[in-house]
Structure formats: C-alpha cells, structure tokens
Structure 1
C-alpha cells in the first residue's frame, strides 16, 4: 500500500519563503502552538546548524595550522599579516568553544585531519615540498590554541 502525503502549509512556506517560515516557526515555538510545526524541515535545519558549526571549526583550525606552519618554516617571510591571521583564527576557534563547549571533543577528533589539510595548504602557499612539514603536527592542541604561542 502506497501512502501519499501532501505537504503541510508550513512545508510549502518553507519552500517558498524561508524567512517567513523561520518567523512562523519561531512564533509557534514561542507560543507553544506545536501541533502545526513543520517538524521535518525544523529537524533538517537544526542538524544543518550543527554541521555548520563543525565545518566552521575545521576550516578555522586548518587555516590556523597552515599559518603556524608557514610562520615556523618561513622565518624570513614572516609578516604581521600572518600574525593577524593566526590571532584571528585562534580567536574564532576559542569563541566557538566558549559558546559551544561540546565542540571540544570534536576538535580533538579532527585535529590530526585538520593538520594534514593545513600541511597540504602550507606546502601549496609556500611552494615548499610537503615533506618539509612533519607528518605529525609538531604543535600540540594546547599550543595551537594558546593566544601567546608562536612557533620559533
């Protein structure tokens, strides 16, 4: 037996006017009118938000590690711009961890993969052979996130 479902009015709103859907969903949650919630799309949006937090953390960590490697291995090319980028991406990561402490285990989980990506990007940006950079991160997670640390 095939079950045919018709889209709810909110589901249609979601597809036609995302902002309106957000406002309507927010109002329904605020007022406790849960019976007409577009649960399917609400769950999708919540899951998407979680994924975006993780992707942002990874992206910032990769850029941070890339610049720390550049800073360490291209001493004669160090610039204040590199220091700014290091500081900026550390700050973004630390803010994300402060707002969402549950990201800390995820950071530990992806650190090595992010290092490999940062290593690859550092090789591309510097023109140095990737073998210049160690296979395993020479920096601990604590050093990487320490606002006062720069590799020498």
Structure 2
C-alpha cells in the first residue's frame, strides 16, 4: 500500500469518521482492497462485537435492577408497577433482538448473568436495605428473559 495513501486514510479516520466510513464502504464495494485502511477497518470490526457484548450486559443489568425493584422495593411498587413492567419488557426485547442477530452471544449472556445481577444489586442497595436483596439471584436467567414471568404481581393485575 502506498504510504501517502495510508497516511491520508489514517488521517481521514481521525478527522472525519463518517467520511472515512463512506470511503471505506465504497472501496469495499468496488473491490479496491489495495487502498483500504486495514488497521482501522479491523479495529472497527472488532469493536462491533464488543458493542453488542456491552449492550447485552447493560440490558441484562437493567433488567435485573427492575426485577429487584419489583420484588423488593415495597414503598414504590404500587405506584411504579406499570412503568417497571414496561421497562422489563423493553429490556427483554432488546436482548432478544441482539441474540436474534448474533445467536453466538448466548454463552456470553449466560456467563455474565451473575456479574450483571451483582451490579444490579449494588445499584439497588442504594434504595433498598441490603438484608432484603440476596447476594445470589433468586431467579434464573431463563426466568429473567421469560416474557410471562415476573417476581411479583399485584392481586388485581390481570
């Protein structure tokens, strides 16, 4: 690869990311592989996988937080129940969509359930007494992802 072209592309990546993306896409489509900024292209492709992993971890942590709120935050439960179950549904859906596009992330989801639960617990301990919230989850990952499962429901909810 021409050093001048490589320097130009690396500079373009640093100066105008969107223009770099457009140019790189055009080069790939036209099979202009000799002028690709491979170093940054490889880095961007690697970051795509990390982005999905971070998203799954974030959604799973937030899902666990809301399940804990529903189960243990008595003083806010009646008032917030409907918004919490909507959030729970949204987090489940986001996880499902990521897994639909990348089923190979299922093992990552399983491996990170406990760390995500523990982060959620740590956050919830700011508003719920620590003796109420167990250190280990009292629900499974499968339950957390099950659209029909909730750790608590009001008697009048149908």
Q: Structure 1-normalised TM-score?
A: 0.90
Gaps of 5+ in 2: 153-158
Alignment of 1:2-151 (within 5 A): 7-75=6-74, 77-78=76-77, 79-124=81-126, 127-151=127-151
How far apart are 1:128 and its partner, in Å?
1.8
Gaps of 5+ in 1: none
Q: Structure 2-normalised TM-score?
A: 0.86
User: SS at 1:28's partner residue?
Assistant: helix
User: SS at 1:130's partner residue?
Assistant: coil
Q: Is the 8 A contact 2:59 2:91 kept in 1?
A: yes
| Partners of 1:13 and 1:139 in 2: CA distance | 49
Count of aligned positions: 146
CA RMSD, 1 decimal: 1.5
User: SS at 2:32's partner residue?
Assistant: coil
| Partners of 1:75 and 1:98 in 2: CA distance | 35
